[in-house]
Amino acid sequence: MKARHRIAIADHLLAAGLLLGSVFAPGAAADELTLGLGVGWLPEFEGSNDFRTIPLPSFKYKTDWIEIKPSQLGLEADLFPGAKFDLGPIVRYGSGRNDRRRVDDPVVSLLEKVDDAMEFGFAFSGGVPVDIIGIDDPGIIATRIEVIHGLNSGHGGTTVEGAFRFVRPLSNRFTMVSSVSLTWASSDYQRAFFSVTPEDALRSGLPEFQANAGLKDIAVSLAGRYKFNERWRSSVIFQLRRLVGTASDSPIVSIRGNPNQPFMGINLEYKVF
């Protein structure tokens, strides 16, 4: 039986990735290494009412032929760093859920154990300046599409996320990014994460529920980065992700959790070279 995959940390690290990754990349020259460390506050698992604090490490390594950066609990590569778009593969580690050391909710912890999973996919992102449509503004309109599939004994499903962003420098040092995103999930993914099997219902007391493919969540976020000097900069992000459809109808969310999933993170980065 497929296990439910805990993606809350991954989802919110994605939000941090919007903050720490290419959306803020200034098109620097080749051979660049940036390291960072921060802290994030997020739900224990997707749909949870309980929260935890986690470290948020970050890095970016860029040459004239490839750029490597974090992507949630894994790596993402841009194979065309000199182009005006990003395109490349993603490899991630998806940690499990329902380990009693990770889930405080006494009912959710009784549900079927989650297996860890390796995930593989790809991402495409790009943007155009606002003034291309005749508006005198230094902002950039950007978009990102990401497709991820679980490879082994985890959820075994697929998610597709599309995001639209508005990147706006407010000064030479400070840049703001606002975004909205939608995530679609396959039936394997939804059932693995949000369904309550007859065995689960017997153990936990939750009603049986079968989740189906469809729109999983809608998210809005606001991020900012402040550049102290050529070496140091700091980033902060606020995000609210709303579970919808079959995900929000799941007893795991509607009875034991909350469809509103907030995230907040802050990070300090140092440009090594």
Residue type, 257: G
E strand or H helix at 235: strand 232-243
**Do 175 and 235 contact (CB within 8 A), yes or no?**
no
pLDDT, average across residues 140-157:
89
Exposed/middle/buried for residue 32 (C-beta within 10 Å: 0-12, 13-18, 19+)? middle
Best CATH choice for the domain 8-271 from the list 2.70.98, 2.60.40, 2.40.230, 3.40.50? 2.40.230
* Per-residue model confidence (pLDDT) at position 7: 37
Whether the predicted model's global pTM rises above the 0.75 cut: yes
* Per-residue model confidence (pLDDT) at position 211: 96
Domains of the chain by residue range = 8-271
Tell me the two tokens of residue 251. 């007893």
SS3 200: helix
With a pLDDT cut of 90, the percent of the chain lying above it is 65
* Per-residue model confidence (pLDDT) at position 216: 98
E strand or H helix at 222: strand 214-227
Mean pLDDT of the chain: 87
pLDDT tens-digit series, residues 75-133: 999 999 888 899 999 999 876 666 655 788 999 989 987 677 889 999 999 999 998 88
pLDDT tens-digit series, residues 206-265: 999 999 999 999 999 999 999 999 999 999 999 999 999 999 999 999 999 999 999 999
262 to 121, 227, 259: CA distances (angstroms): 25, 26, 10
* Per-residue model confidence (pLDDT) at position 150: 87
Say which residues have a Cβ less than 8 Å from residue 115's Cβ, sequence separation at least 6: 3, 5, 96, 152, 153, 154
Q: Give CA–CA dist 180/157, Å, rounded.
A: 23
Tell me the two tokens of residue 11. 């989802």
pLDDT, average across residues 63-80:
90
